[in-house]
Amino acid sequence: MTTSQPAGPVLDSDAAPEGARKIADLKPDLLLTGEHNLCPGCGEPLAVRVYLEALQELGVSRETVMVAGIGCYTMFTGTVDLDLVQALHGRAPSVATGIKRMLPDKVVFTLQGDGDMVNEGLQEVLHTAARGERVTCILLNNGVFGETGGHMTATSVLGQRTKSSLEGRDAEYHGYPILIGDLVSRLQGAAYVARGSVHNAGAVARTKRMLRRAFETQLAGDGFSFVEVLTMCPTGWFIPTADGPDYMHETLGEVHVMGELKVDGMVKTTEELHAENVRKQHEVEAELERGGVDL
C-alpha cells in the first residue's frame, strides 16, 4: 500500500472544531465503552458498530435480546448495552430459538464467528433457518480461528495459510470451504440472506443496510434472517494490518461473494452477485467523490 504524504499542517485535535456540525460519533451509543482488547486492524468491531447502529435506528434497543457465541467478538458481551445471553460455542441459534419462542415480540439475534457457526454449530444455524425461526443470525466470517491464534475453519479459502494448513488450504488434503450464506439461502424458512463486508467504508455502509433489512424481516415476522459479514483478521492471516482490507477482498471476498443472496424468496447466483457488486462499487465511489457516503 503506497500513499502519498498529505500536504499541509496537522489540523486534528481532541476537541470539536468551531463552527462544525458533528455527523458521526466515536462509538455507537449502544456500546458502553469503545475500549476493547481485540487486535489492531480487526474487522469485528466494525461489524459490531453497524449492527448496534441498525438496532438503534430501528428503535428497538429496549426490545432486543442478543445471544453471543464464543470467539474474539465475545469480548463485546461486556460492553454491548443490550440484554444478553452467553451461549456455548456453536449453540447460539438454539438458545435464540428458546428466547424467541418465549418472547415472540422481541428482536432476538445471535452474533457468531465462522468457527462458532460453520464449524462447531453448523447444524444449529441450518435447522434454525429451515424452521423459519423468526430470529436473525449474524456471522462474522474471517475464515480463521482468530481467538486461538490462526487456525483453519470451515470457511478458510483454498490456498489460505493457517497454523493448521501451513502450506495453504489444499482441497485434496483439507477439503473445500463451506459457503454458508449460499447454503442458508437455499432453505425455505430463510427469508432474507445477505453477505456483507467491512473491507472499506462503502462495504460497511452497505452491510449496515443489510443488517437493518434483516432485523426488519424479523420484525415483520417473515421468517429467518441471516447476515454474514466478512471481517479482517490480520493477526490470523499473518499479514500487516493495513494490508487486511485488500487481502480480504482478494481472497475471502472472491469466494464468499458479497451481496444479498436472498430477498423476498428470490435466490441470487454467485455470478449475479458479482455483477451487482461491480455496479454498487461504482455507485459508492461516485458517492465518495461527491463528498461522503450516506450515513
Partner 1 sequence: MTATTAVRDERRLMEGSEAMVEAAIAAGCRFFAGYPMTPFTELLEHFARRLPEEGGVCINAESELEAVGMAWGALATGARAATGSTGQGLSLMQESFSEITLAELPLVVFNMARGQSDYFQATRGGGHGDYRHIVLAPIDIAEAVELTQLAFHLADRWRSPVLIYGDYLLAHVTEAVSVTPFSVPALPSKEWAVDGSLGGTGRSRSISPLGLGKHGHPGPGIERHLRAIAGKLADIEREEQRVEHAYTDDAETVVVAFGTPARFVRYVVHQLRADGEKVGYVRPISLWPFPSAVVADASAGARVVATFELSAGQMIDDVRLAVLGRAPVVRLGGISTDGSGFGVGALLDAEVVRDRILALHRGGPEAELPPLPVNERG
Partner 2 sequence: MSETRTIKSRGAVTIDVETCKGCELCIVACPPRVLSMSTEVNQLGVHYPRLHPGCTGCAACLMVCPDFCFEVFRFEEPVLTTIEEPA
Site residues, partner 2 (CB under 8 A): 1, 3-17, 19-27, 31, 34-36, 38-46, 49, 198, 200-201, 204-205, 232, 234, 241-242, 244-246, 288-289, 291-293, 295
* CA 189 to chain CA mean position, Å: 21
DSSP-derived secondary structure letter, 90: T
Least distance to partner 2 from the beta carbon of 266, Å?
A: 29
> Position 293: which residue type?
V
Cβ at position 106, least distance to partner 2 in Å: 27
Interface segment toward partner 1; rule CB under 8 A; list 37-45, 53-61, 169-177, 244-252? 53-61
Residue 152: name the closest of 137, 139, 163, 167 by CA: 163
The entry of partner 2, partner 1, none near residue 159 (CB within 5 to 8 angstroms by kind) is: none
CB 18, min distance to partner 2, A? 9
Smallest distance, partner 1 to C-beta of residue 217, A = 18
C-alpha cell at 57: 435506528
How far apart CA 190 and CA 169 sit, in angstroms, is 30
Task: Print burial letters for 232-259: b (CB count within 10 Å at least 16), e (below 16).
Answer: bbbbbbebeeeebbebbbebbbebbbbb
CB of 126 to partner 2, least distance (A): 30
Pick what 82 binds: partner 1, partner 2, none; C-beta below 5 to 8 Å, kind-dependent. Answer: partner 1
For residues 226 and 192, give the distance between their C-alpha atoms in angstroms, rounded to a whole number: 6
Which chain residues interact with partner 1 by CB under 8 A? 29-30, 32-33, 55-56, 61-65, 67, 77-88, 91, 93-103, 106-107, 123-124, 127
